[in-house]
Structure 1
Amino acid sequence: MTLLNLIGWIGSALVVLSLLQSRLLRLRVLNLAGCAVVFGFNVVIPNWPMAVLNAALALINGWHLWRMLATRHDDRTYEVVEVPADDAFLTHFLRFHGKDVSRSHPRFTGDSAAHPGSTAFLLVNGDEAVGAMQFHSVGDGVAQVDLDYVKPRYQDLTPGEFVFRGSRYFADHGYHTVITPPGMLKPYYGRLGFKRQGESYVWELPDDQRRPR
Protein backbone atom coordinates (compact mmCIF):
# COMPACT_ATOMS: atom_id res chain seq x y z
CA MET A 1 0.00 0.00 0.00
CA THR A 2 1.37 3.38 -1.00
CA LEU A 3 1.45 6.37 1.33
CA LEU A 4 -1.16 8.08 -0.84
CA ASN A 5 -3.57 5.15 -0.51
CA LEU A 6 -2.98 5.05 3.23
CA ILE A 7 -3.93 8.73 3.48
CA GLY A 8 -7.11 8.03 1.51
CA TRP A 9 -8.03 5.17 3.86
CA ILE A 10 -7.36 7.36 6.91
CA GLY A 11 -9.66 10.06 5.56
CA SER A 12 -12.41 7.52 4.87
CA ALA A 13 -11.99 6.04 8.37
CA LEU A 14 -12.38 9.50 9.94
CA VAL A 15 -15.61 10.08 8.02
CA VAL A 16 -17.01 6.71 9.15
CA LEU A 17 -15.83 7.30 12.74
CA SER A 18 -17.54 10.70 12.80
CA LEU A 19 -20.90 9.10 12.01
CA LEU A 20 -20.56 6.87 15.07
CA GLN A 21 -20.36 9.84 17.45
CA SER A 22 -23.30 10.77 19.67
CA ARG A 23 -21.86 14.23 20.48
CA LEU A 24 -22.62 16.83 17.84
CA LEU A 25 -19.42 18.84 18.18
CA ARG A 26 -17.20 15.78 17.98
CA LEU A 27 -19.16 14.50 14.97
CA ARG A 28 -18.63 17.75 13.07
CA VAL A 29 -14.92 18.03 13.94
CA LEU A 30 -14.13 14.44 12.86
CA ASN A 31 -16.26 14.72 9.73
CA LEU A 32 -14.55 17.98 8.77
CA ALA A 33 -11.11 16.40 9.26
CA GLY A 34 -12.08 13.31 7.26
CA CYS A 35 -13.55 15.36 4.39
CA ALA A 36 -10.43 17.55 4.27
CA VAL A 37 -8.14 14.50 4.04
CA VAL A 38 -10.31 12.82 1.37
CA PHE A 39 -10.46 16.10 -0.54
CA GLY A 40 -6.66 16.28 -0.66
CA PHE A 41 -6.47 12.62 -1.69
CA ASN A 42 -8.89 13.14 -4.59
CA VAL A 43 -7.08 16.27 -5.77
CA VAL A 44 -3.81 14.31 -6.04
CA ILE A 45 -5.34 11.27 -7.83
CA PRO A 46 -7.09 13.31 -9.42
CA ASN A 47 -10.83 12.56 -9.02
CA TRP A 48 -12.52 15.93 -9.34
CA PRO A 49 -16.17 14.95 -8.69
CA MET A 50 -15.18 13.39 -5.32
CA ALA A 51 -12.85 16.31 -4.57
CA VAL A 52 -15.68 18.82 -5.13
CA LEU A 53 -18.08 16.69 -3.03
CA ASN A 54 -15.69 16.55 -0.07
CA ALA A 55 -14.84 20.23 -0.37
CA ALA A 56 -18.56 21.04 -0.15
CA LEU A 57 -19.01 18.71 2.84
CA ALA A 58 -16.01 20.30 4.59
CA LEU A 59 -17.50 23.76 4.09
CA ILE A 60 -20.87 22.61 5.44
CA ASN A 61 -19.19 21.09 8.51
CA GLY A 62 -17.17 24.26 9.01
CA TRP A 63 -20.30 26.40 8.89
CA HIS A 64 -22.09 24.19 11.44
CA LEU A 65 -19.03 24.24 13.72
CA TRP A 66 -18.86 28.02 13.54
CA ARG A 67 -22.54 28.28 14.48
CA MET A 68 -22.15 25.84 17.38
CA LEU A 69 -19.13 27.61 18.84
CA ALA A 70 -20.39 31.14 18.19
CA THR A 71 -23.80 30.61 19.78
CA ARG A 72 -23.13 28.25 22.67
CA HIS A 73 -22.81 31.19 25.11
CA ASP A 74 -25.63 33.17 23.50
CA ASP A 75 -28.69 33.58 25.72
CA ARG A 76 -30.80 33.22 22.59
CA THR A 77 -29.56 29.64 22.13
CA TYR A 78 -30.61 28.16 25.47
CA GLU A 79 -33.42 28.92 27.87
CA VAL A 80 -34.15 27.85 31.44
CA VAL A 81 -37.68 26.51 31.97
CA GLU A 82 -38.56 25.93 35.62
CA VAL A 83 -40.68 22.86 36.40
CA PRO A 84 -41.77 21.10 39.62
CA ALA A 85 -39.26 18.53 40.85
CA ASP A 86 -41.90 15.84 40.29
CA ASP A 87 -42.89 17.13 36.83
CA ALA A 88 -44.06 14.32 34.55
CA PHE A 89 -41.91 15.33 31.58
CA LEU A 90 -38.83 15.83 33.76
CA THR A 91 -39.39 12.36 35.22
CA HIS A 92 -39.68 10.92 31.71
CA PHE A 93 -36.56 12.79 30.54
CA LEU A 94 -34.46 11.50 33.44
CA ARG A 95 -35.83 7.97 33.09
CA PHE A 96 -35.11 7.94 29.35
CA HIS A 97 -31.50 9.04 29.98
CA GLY A 98 -31.25 7.06 33.22
CA LYS A 99 -28.12 5.07 32.38
CA ASP A 100 -26.21 8.16 31.31
CA VAL A 101 -27.43 10.12 34.34
CA SER A 102 -26.21 7.38 36.69
CA ARG A 103 -22.79 7.37 35.00
CA SER A 104 -22.18 11.06 35.72
CA HIS A 105 -24.25 11.30 38.93
CA PRO A 106 -23.88 7.96 40.72
CA ARG A 107 -25.43 9.36 43.92
CA PHE A 108 -28.53 10.88 42.34
CA THR A 109 -31.65 8.87 43.19
CA GLY A 110 -34.28 10.95 41.44
CA ASP A 111 -36.37 11.00 44.61
CA SER A 112 -37.89 14.49 44.76
CA ALA A 113 -39.15 13.75 48.28
CA ALA A 114 -35.58 13.42 49.58
CA HIS A 115 -35.36 17.20 49.79
CA PRO A 116 -38.80 18.78 50.30
CA GLY A 117 -39.10 22.00 48.36
CA SER A 118 -36.60 20.94 45.70
CA THR A 119 -36.61 23.04 42.55
CA ALA A 120 -35.89 21.80 39.04
CA PHE A 121 -35.60 23.21 35.56
CA LEU A 122 -35.09 21.98 32.05
CA LEU A 123 -32.47 23.55 29.82
CA VAL A 124 -33.96 23.83 26.35
CA ASN A 125 -32.73 24.67 22.87
CA GLY A 126 -35.75 25.77 20.89
CA ASP A 127 -38.33 23.09 21.64
CA GLU A 128 -35.77 20.42 22.58
CA ALA A 129 -34.88 19.61 26.18
CA VAL A 130 -31.08 19.24 26.28
CA GLY A 131 -30.51 18.99 30.02
CA ALA A 132 -31.95 19.20 33.51
CA MET A 133 -30.88 20.60 36.86
CA GLN A 134 -32.36 19.91 40.28
CA PHE A 135 -31.38 21.64 43.52
CA HIS A 136 -32.62 22.57 46.97
CA SER A 137 -32.01 25.44 49.34
CA VAL A 138 -29.79 24.85 52.35
CA GLY A 139 -30.64 28.27 53.74
CA ASP A 140 -29.01 31.72 53.82
CA GLY A 141 -29.03 32.12 50.04
CA VAL A 142 -27.14 28.88 49.32
CA ALA A 143 -28.35 26.40 46.68
CA GLN A 144 -27.21 22.77 46.78
CA VAL A 145 -27.36 21.26 43.30
CA ASP A 146 -28.35 17.59 43.30
CA LEU A 147 -28.34 17.05 39.53
CA ASP A 148 -26.64 18.88 36.66
CA TYR A 149 -27.17 16.76 33.56
CA VAL A 150 -26.87 17.39 29.81
CA LYS A 151 -27.63 14.67 27.30
CA PRO A 152 -24.68 13.28 25.32
CA ARG A 153 -25.13 15.04 21.97
CA TYR A 154 -24.87 18.46 23.67
CA GLN A 155 -22.21 17.74 26.29
CA ASP A 156 -19.31 19.09 24.21
CA LEU A 157 -21.21 22.36 23.77
CA THR A 158 -21.27 22.96 27.57
CA PRO A 159 -24.81 24.34 27.83
CA GLY A 160 -24.48 24.05 31.61
CA GLU A 161 -22.02 26.92 31.40
CA PHE A 162 -24.86 29.10 30.14
CA VAL A 163 -26.81 28.46 33.35
CA PHE A 164 -24.02 29.91 35.50
CA ARG A 165 -22.51 32.56 33.23
CA GLY A 166 -25.22 33.57 30.79
CA SER A 167 -28.32 33.11 32.90
CA ARG A 168 -29.44 35.06 35.96
CA TYR A 169 -31.52 32.15 37.20
CA PHE A 170 -29.90 31.67 40.61
CA ALA A 171 -29.55 35.41 41.23
CA ASP A 172 -33.19 36.04 40.34
CA HIS A 173 -34.20 33.37 42.85
CA GLY A 174 -32.28 35.04 45.65
CA TYR A 175 -29.17 32.81 45.78
CA HIS A 176 -25.64 34.12 46.15
CA THR A 177 -23.82 30.77 46.43
CA VAL A 178 -24.18 27.52 44.50
CA ILE A 179 -22.71 24.17 45.60
CA THR A 180 -22.39 21.53 42.87
CA PRO A 181 -23.33 17.84 43.19
CA PRO A 182 -20.87 15.87 45.36
CA GLY A 183 -19.19 12.91 43.69
CA MET A 184 -20.07 14.01 40.14
CA LEU A 185 -17.88 12.30 37.56
CA LYS A 186 -15.94 14.48 35.10
CA PRO A 187 -17.13 17.82 36.50
CA TYR A 188 -16.55 20.87 34.32
CA TYR A 189 -16.80 23.50 37.06
CA GLY A 190 -13.06 24.08 37.55
CA ARG A 191 -12.70 25.87 34.23
CA LEU A 192 -15.61 28.18 35.13
CA GLY A 193 -13.81 29.56 38.17
CA PHE A 194 -15.59 27.45 40.79
CA LYS A 195 -13.57 26.65 43.91
CA ARG A 196 -13.06 23.03 44.91
CA GLN A 197 -14.51 22.13 48.30
CA GLY A 198 -14.24 18.44 49.17
CA GLU A 199 -16.19 16.45 46.58
CA SER A 200 -18.03 19.52 45.33
CA TYR A 201 -17.33 22.92 43.81
CA VAL A 202 -18.57 26.23 45.17
CA TRP A 203 -19.58 29.25 43.09
CA GLU A 204 -20.01 32.68 44.60
CA LEU A 205 -22.15 34.77 42.27
CA PRO A 206 -20.34 37.93 41.09
CA ASP A 207 -21.60 41.19 42.57
CA ASP A 208 -23.21 42.30 39.29
CA GLN A 209 -25.41 39.19 39.29
CA ARG A 210 -26.58 39.37 42.89
CA ARG A 211 -30.06 40.61 43.52
CA PRO A 212 -30.25 43.36 46.15
CA ARG A 213 -31.42 41.86 49.44
Structure 2
Amino acid sequence: MNWLEILGWIGSAVVVWSLLQTRILRLRVLNFIGCAISVVYALLGSVWPVLGLNLVLCIINIYHLRKLTAQKETERAYKVLTVTPQDAYLQFFLDQHTTDITEALPEFNREDTLNGEATEAHIVLHNDETVGIVVLRDAGAGEARVLLDYVTPRFRDFTPGKYLFRDSGLLHSRGFTSVVAPAPANSQTSKYYSALGFVPEGDTSRLAVAQ
Protein backbone atom coordinates (compact mmCIF):
# COMPACT_ATOMS: atom_id res chain seq x y z
CA MET A 1 0.00 0.00 0.00
CA ASN A 2 1.52 3.33 -1.06
CA TRP A 3 1.14 6.69 0.69
CA LEU A 4 -1.66 7.83 -1.63
CA GLU A 5 -3.82 4.84 -0.74
CA ILE A 6 -3.11 5.44 2.95
CA LEU A 7 -4.28 9.04 2.48
CA GLY A 8 -7.50 7.81 0.89
CA TRP A 9 -8.16 5.39 3.73
CA ILE A 10 -7.53 8.14 6.30
CA GLY A 11 -10.08 10.40 4.59
CA SER A 12 -12.66 7.61 4.54
CA ALA A 13 -12.00 6.78 8.21
CA VAL A 14 -12.49 10.40 9.28
CA VAL A 15 -15.79 10.57 7.38
CA VAL A 16 -17.01 7.39 9.10
CA TRP A 17 -15.83 8.74 12.48
CA SER A 18 -17.75 11.97 11.89
CA LEU A 19 -20.99 10.04 11.47
CA LEU A 20 -20.55 8.58 14.97
CA GLN A 21 -20.66 12.02 16.60
CA THR A 22 -23.72 13.16 18.55
CA ARG A 23 -22.84 16.86 18.48
CA ILE A 24 -23.89 18.28 15.14
CA LEU A 25 -21.14 20.93 15.03
CA ARG A 26 -18.40 18.36 15.66
CA LEU A 27 -19.97 16.05 13.07
CA ARG A 28 -19.85 18.78 10.44
CA VAL A 29 -16.24 19.74 11.24
CA LEU A 30 -14.96 16.17 11.12
CA ASN A 31 -16.98 15.38 8.01
CA PHE A 32 -15.50 18.43 6.27
CA ILE A 33 -11.95 17.36 7.24
CA GLY A 34 -12.55 13.83 5.97
CA CYS A 35 -14.02 15.08 2.70
CA ALA A 36 -11.16 17.55 2.23
CA ILE A 37 -8.62 14.74 2.66
CA SER A 38 -10.58 12.68 0.13
CA VAL A 39 -10.51 15.59 -2.31
CA VAL A 40 -6.70 15.68 -2.15
CA TYR A 41 -6.54 11.91 -2.57
CA ALA A 42 -8.90 11.96 -5.58
CA LEU A 43 -7.10 14.89 -7.18
CA LEU A 44 -3.65 13.28 -6.90
CA GLY A 45 -4.99 9.89 -7.98
CA SER A 46 -7.16 11.28 -10.80
CA VAL A 47 -10.25 9.59 -9.36
CA TRP A 48 -12.72 12.08 -10.76
CA PRO A 49 -16.07 10.70 -9.46
CA VAL A 50 -14.64 10.64 -5.90
CA LEU A 51 -13.28 14.15 -6.41
CA GLY A 52 -16.65 15.48 -7.55
CA LEU A 53 -18.58 13.84 -4.72
CA ASN A 54 -16.28 15.09 -1.98
CA LEU A 55 -16.08 18.60 -3.41
CA VAL A 56 -19.86 18.80 -3.24
CA LEU A 57 -19.82 17.43 0.32
CA CYS A 58 -17.19 20.00 1.33
CA ILE A 59 -19.37 22.82 0.01
CA ILE A 60 -22.42 21.42 1.84
CA ASN A 61 -20.44 21.18 5.09
CA ILE A 62 -19.11 24.72 4.74
CA TYR A 63 -22.66 26.00 4.25
CA HIS A 64 -23.97 24.25 7.34
CA LEU A 65 -20.92 25.17 9.45
CA ARG A 66 -21.38 28.85 8.63
CA LYS A 67 -25.07 28.59 9.45
CA LEU A 68 -24.44 26.74 12.72
CA THR A 69 -21.72 29.07 14.00
CA ALA A 70 -23.61 32.21 13.01
CA GLN A 71 -26.81 31.01 14.65
CA LYS A 72 -25.25 29.71 17.84
CA GLU A 73 -23.29 32.87 18.47
CA THR A 74 -26.27 35.20 18.38
CA GLU A 75 -28.46 35.90 21.36
CA ARG A 76 -31.52 35.45 19.16
CA ALA A 77 -30.76 31.74 18.93
CA TYR A 78 -31.12 31.14 22.67
CA LYS A 79 -33.70 32.08 25.24
CA VAL A 80 -34.13 31.13 28.89
CA LEU A 81 -37.41 30.34 30.57
CA THR A 82 -37.27 30.54 34.37
CA VAL A 83 -39.54 28.09 36.22
CA THR A 84 -39.93 26.54 39.65
CA PRO A 85 -38.09 23.27 40.38
CA GLN A 86 -41.49 21.53 40.49
CA ASP A 87 -42.64 22.86 37.10
CA ALA A 88 -44.62 20.26 35.12
CA TYR A 89 -42.75 20.76 31.84
CA LEU A 90 -39.40 20.56 33.65
CA GLN A 91 -40.48 17.23 35.15
CA PHE A 92 -41.57 16.00 31.72
CA PHE A 93 -38.23 16.95 30.14
CA LEU A 94 -36.30 15.21 32.92
CA ASP A 95 -38.46 12.10 32.45
CA GLN A 96 -37.65 12.04 28.72
CA HIS A 97 -33.90 12.32 29.35
CA THR A 98 -33.54 10.27 32.52
CA THR A 99 -31.17 7.70 31.02
CA ASP A 100 -28.82 10.28 29.51
CA ILE A 101 -28.83 12.41 32.68
CA THR A 102 -28.02 9.37 34.81
CA GLU A 103 -25.11 8.45 32.53
CA ALA A 104 -23.75 11.98 32.31
CA LEU A 105 -24.45 13.03 35.91
CA PRO A 106 -24.68 9.90 38.10
CA GLU A 107 -24.40 11.98 41.29
CA PHE A 108 -27.63 13.87 40.54
CA ASN A 109 -30.43 12.96 42.95
CA ARG A 110 -33.60 14.23 41.33
CA GLU A 111 -35.95 13.78 44.27
CA ASP A 112 -33.69 15.44 46.86
CA THR A 113 -32.63 18.22 44.52
CA LEU A 114 -35.97 19.34 43.10
CA ASN A 115 -37.95 18.89 46.31
CA GLY A 116 -35.32 20.13 48.73
CA GLU A 117 -32.16 21.98 47.74
CA ALA A 118 -33.25 23.72 44.52
CA THR A 119 -34.61 27.24 44.66
CA GLU A 120 -34.98 27.92 40.92
CA ALA A 121 -34.69 26.26 37.52
CA HIS A 122 -33.97 27.59 34.04
CA ILE A 123 -34.94 25.97 30.75
CA VAL A 124 -32.62 26.86 27.86
CA LEU A 125 -34.33 27.07 24.47
CA HIS A 126 -32.83 27.17 20.99
CA ASN A 127 -35.58 28.76 18.95
CA ASP A 128 -38.49 26.53 20.07
CA GLU A 129 -36.41 23.46 21.06
CA THR A 130 -35.49 22.70 24.67
CA VAL A 131 -31.75 22.07 24.73
CA GLY A 132 -30.82 22.27 28.40
CA ILE A 133 -31.79 22.57 32.04
CA VAL A 134 -29.96 24.42 34.81
CA VAL A 135 -31.13 24.02 38.40
CA LEU A 136 -29.72 26.37 41.05
CA ARG A 137 -29.69 26.87 44.80
CA ASP A 138 -29.50 30.36 46.23
CA ALA A 139 -26.66 29.97 48.74
CA GLY A 140 -27.01 33.54 50.02
CA ALA A 141 -24.61 36.48 49.80
CA GLY A 142 -25.20 36.67 46.03
CA GLU A 143 -23.94 33.14 45.36
CA ALA A 144 -25.74 30.61 43.14
CA ARG A 145 -24.87 26.92 43.39
CA VAL A 146 -25.33 24.70 40.32
CA LEU A 147 -27.24 21.52 41.22
CA LEU A 148 -27.93 20.37 37.68
CA ASP A 149 -26.48 21.56 34.39
CA TYR A 150 -27.69 19.28 31.60
CA VAL A 151 -27.57 19.85 27.84
CA THR A 152 -28.91 17.47 25.21
CA PRO A 153 -26.21 15.68 23.18
CA ARG A 154 -26.82 17.66 19.99
CA PHE A 155 -25.99 20.97 21.69
CA ARG A 156 -22.97 20.04 23.79
CA ASP A 157 -20.66 22.62 22.26
CA PHE A 158 -20.53 25.13 25.18
CA THR A 159 -22.83 27.69 23.58
CA PRO A 160 -25.94 27.04 25.75
CA GLY A 161 -23.85 27.35 28.92
CA LYS A 162 -22.01 30.36 27.56
CA TYR A 163 -25.30 32.08 26.86
CA LEU A 164 -26.94 31.32 30.21
CA PHE A 165 -23.98 31.94 32.50
CA ARG A 166 -22.21 34.78 30.67
CA ASP A 167 -24.23 36.46 27.93
CA SER A 168 -27.88 36.44 28.96
CA GLY A 169 -27.55 38.68 32.04
CA LEU A 170 -30.07 36.42 33.74
CA LEU A 171 -28.06 35.65 36.88
CA HIS A 172 -27.21 39.30 37.46
CA SER A 173 -30.86 40.27 37.03
CA ARG A 174 -31.73 37.79 39.77
CA GLY A 175 -29.25 39.33 42.19
CA PHE A 176 -26.38 36.88 41.90
CA THR A 177 -22.77 38.07 41.86
CA SER A 178 -21.13 34.65 41.44
CA VAL A 179 -22.04 31.10 40.47
CA VAL A 180 -20.32 27.97 41.80
CA ALA A 181 -20.42 24.61 40.05
CA PRO A 182 -19.16 21.16 41.09
CA ALA A 183 -16.07 20.45 38.98
CA PRO A 184 -13.58 17.84 40.23
CA ALA A 185 -10.04 18.55 39.03
CA ASN A 186 -9.03 17.00 35.68
CA SER A 187 -12.59 15.87 34.93
CA GLN A 188 -14.64 16.55 31.81
CA THR A 189 -16.88 18.72 33.97
CA SER A 190 -13.90 20.81 35.03
CA LYS A 191 -12.84 21.27 31.40
CA TYR A 192 -16.38 22.28 30.46
CA TYR A 193 -16.61 24.99 33.12
CA SER A 194 -13.08 26.21 32.40
CA ALA A 195 -14.12 26.73 28.78
CA LEU A 196 -17.00 28.91 30.05
CA GLY A 197 -14.64 31.08 32.11
CA PHE A 198 -15.08 29.48 35.54
CA VAL A 199 -12.02 29.54 37.82
CA PRO A 200 -11.15 26.27 39.65
CA GLU A 201 -11.47 26.26 43.45
CA GLY A 202 -10.66 22.77 44.71
CA ASP A 203 -13.50 20.48 43.65
CA THR A 204 -15.62 23.41 42.45
CA SER A 205 -15.33 26.22 39.92
CA ARG A 206 -16.50 29.81 40.32
CA LEU A 207 -17.62 32.43 37.82
CA ALA A 208 -18.04 36.08 38.65
CA VAL A 209 -21.36 37.20 37.21
CA ALA A 210 -20.98 40.06 34.75
CA GLN A 211 -23.15 43.11 35.31
TM-score of the aligned structures, taking structure 1 as reference length: 0.86
1:54-69 alignment runs, 5 A limit: 54-69=54-69
Listed as ranges, the matches of 1:197-212 within 5 Å are: 197-206=201-210, 209=211
The residue identity in structure 1 corresponding to 2:116 is A
Taking only aligned residues, the RMSD between alpha carbons, in angstroms, comes to 2.1
Paired letter, 2:189 = K
Q: 2:83, 2:123 within 8 Å by CA — same for their partners in 1?
A: yes
Q: What is the rounded CA distance, in whole Å, between the counterparts of 2:169 and 2:204 in structure 1?
A: 21
Paired letter, 1:105 = L
Equivalent residue number for residue 29 of structure 1: 29
| Partner residue, 1:38 | 38
Superposed displacement of residue 157, structure 1: 4.3
Q: Does 1:190 align with 2:194?
A: yes
- C-alpha distance 195-3 of structure 1, shift in aligned 2 (>3 A): closer
Equivalents in 1 of 2:163, 2:77: separation in Å? 9
Q: Do structure 1's residue 143 and structure 2's residue 144 form an aligned pair?
A: yes
Separation in 2 of the partners of 1:49 and 1:6?
19
Q: Is the 8 A contact 1:68 1:157 kept in 2?
A: no
SS of equivalent residue, structure 1 residue 134: strand
**Mapping 1:1-213, distance limit 5 Å:** 1-111=1-111, 112-115=114-117, 118-181=119-182, 185-187=188-190, 188-206=192-210, 209=211
Please give the alpha-carbon distance, in whole angstroms, between the structure 1 residues aligned to 2:178 and 2:6. 54
Matching residue's letter, 1:190: S
Query: Which amino acid counterpart does residue 60 of structure 1 have in structure 2?
Result: I
Q: Is the 8 A contact 1:122 1:129 kept in 2?
A: yes
Cα distance change on mapping 1:157 and 1:175 into 2, 3 Å: closer
Secondary structure of the 2:20 match is coil
Give the Cα separation in 2 of the matches to 1:191 and 1:38: 32
Pair 199,104 (structure 1): closer, same or farther in 2 beyond 3 Å? farther
Tell me which protein shows more helix as a share of its residues.
Answer: 2
Preserved CA contact (<8 Å) 2:36 2:58: yes
Segments of structure 1 that go 5 or more residues without pairing to the other structure are none
Query: Given that residues 78 and 159 in structure 1 are in contact (C-alpha distance below 8 angstroms), is that contact kept between their aligned partners in structure 2?
Result: yes
Q: 8 Å contact 1:73–1:166 — kept in the other structure?
A: no
Structure 2 gaps, min length 5: none
**Equivalent AA in structure 1 for residue 140 of structure 2:** G
Closer, same or farther in 2 for the Cα pair 1:4/1:147, shift >3 Å? same
**Between the two proteins, what is the percent identity of the paired residues?**
39
Shift in Å at residue 186 of structure 1? 2.1
Q: Distance in 2 between matches of 1:48 and 1:55?
A: 10
- The one-letter code of the counterpart of 1:186 is T
List per-residue Cα deviations over 1:103-157 (Å, max 9, x = no partner): 44332111211226x2111111111111110012122322111011111221124
Distance 1:98 1:161 in 2: 24
Larger displacement relative to structure 2 (131-140 or 184-193): 184-193
Instruction: Tell whether the 8 Å contact from 2:183 to 2:189 is kept in structure 1 after alignment.
Output: no
In terms of mean alpha carbon deviation, does 6-15 or 125-134 score higher? 6-15
For normalisation by structure 2, the TM-score amounts to 0.87
